[in-house]
């Protein structure tokens, strides 16, 4: 249970955080809502509207301006994950395991996942990969670490994939993605992110597995949806095909910065209202 209050004067009523079993039980019900968050304040704003908040390794591009998610470290994920947990009182917080922190062995994966949960207070981790990661997912799940899986377009494998194009255009690749999803579901993943695949693949996976599927560039027929929060808010001018901007964050920031700069240069800010005057 969390009693975090993002604003002074907010209700003191404790909020009970959504649990992994509750998410798993959401299969086939009202679609699950998931967004990424990387800071406490954004988490607090998104939290009332989401079932899950994902601290994605997409912070590489969104926060750090890196070209891909490959350079992300455990330290980065733990720092941002802890901030999001402090900011959210309701949504289940899931944290991406960065590239290189889990692939070597299931024991390495356990050490990395345990560190993430200890240092952040999050409820679950997410890792990319299908059949090759099934044994690791089973190992973590059996030891009390809930795992969200991720199949289809897996950004950490961008160098092997050759880019960010939609996956599953050949029959062989489509069959592999479906097989990957079934493998991670059988291994104990409590949910599966399906990214950047042809829609029939996402539908087939959703119908085949017992755990919820979370689509991103997949299908409205998945059990839920996730987007990068800043994409959804309209912070970036260029976004993937599957993004719908529900806000105009970039325009708002530009307008505010323009007006602030004009006031400073005209000595119109600060005024007496924003400065400390001697007491008479």
> Known binding site for 3-methyl-2-oxobutanoate: residues?
57-58, 96, 126
Q: Contact 277/253 with Cβ under 8 angstroms? A: no
Q: Contact 243/196 with Cβ under 8 angstroms? A: no
Beta strands 124-128; 147-152: pairing state:
parallel
CA dihedral 250, 32, 84, 79 (to 10 degrees): -100
Beta-bridged to residue 125, according to DSSP, are: 95, 147
Q: Contact 95/114 with Cβ under 8 angstroms? A: no
Q: Contact 77/58 with Cβ under 8 angstroms? A: no
Two structure tokens written together for 8: 């002074």
Rg (CA), the chain: 21
CB neighbourhood size of 249 (10 A): 17
Smallest CA-to-CA distance from 167 within 189, 194, 135, 136 is with 194
Residues 144-182: b if buried by 16+ CB within 10 A, e if exposed? ebbbbbbbbbbbbebeeeeeeebbbeeeeebebbbebbb
Residue of 119, 195, 207, 274 marked catalytic? 195
Q: Contact 136/102 with Cβ under 8 angstroms? A: yes
Q: Contact 106/135 with Cβ under 8 angstroms? A: yes
The binding site comprises 57-58, 96, 126, 128
d(CA 164, CA 158): 7
Element (H, E) at 271: none
Among this protein's residues, is 195 annotated catalytic? Answer: yes
Catalytic positions, please? 195
């Amino acid at each position: 249970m969390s009693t975090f209050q993002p604003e002074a004067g907010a209700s003191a009523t404790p909020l009970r955080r959504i649990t992994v079993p509750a998410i798993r039980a959401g299969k086939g019900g009202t679609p699950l809502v998931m967004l990424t968050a990387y800071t406490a304040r954004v988490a607090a704003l998104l939290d009332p509207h989401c079932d899950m908040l994902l601290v994605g390794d997409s912070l590489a591009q969104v926060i750090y301006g890196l070209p891909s998610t490959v350079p992300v470290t455990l330290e980065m994920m733990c720092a941002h994950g802890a901030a999001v947990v402090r900011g959210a009182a309701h949504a289940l917080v899931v944290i991406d395991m960065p590239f290189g922190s889990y692939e070597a062995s299931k024991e390495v994966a356990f050490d990395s996942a345990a560190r993430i949960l200890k240092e952040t207070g999050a409820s679950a981790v997410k890792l990319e990969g299908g059949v090759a990661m099934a044994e690791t997912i089973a190992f973590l799940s059996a030891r009390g670490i809930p795992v969200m899986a991720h199949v289809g377009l897996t950004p950490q494998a961008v160098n092997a994939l050759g880019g960010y194009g939609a996956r599953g255009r050949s029959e062989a690749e489509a069959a592999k993605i479906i097989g990957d999803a079934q493998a991670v579901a059988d291994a104990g993943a409590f949910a599966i992110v399906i990214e950047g695949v042809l829609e029939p693949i996402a539908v087939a996976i959703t119908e085949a597995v017992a755990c919820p599927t979370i689509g991103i560039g997949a299908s409205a027929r998945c059990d839920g949806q996730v987007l990068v929060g800043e994409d959804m808010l309209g912070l970036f001018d260029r976004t993937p095909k599957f993004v719908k901007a529900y806000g105009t964050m970039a325009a708002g920031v530009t307008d505010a910065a323009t007006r602030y700069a004009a006031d400073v240069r005209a000595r119109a800010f600060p005024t007496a209202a924003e400065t400390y005057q001697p007491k008479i």
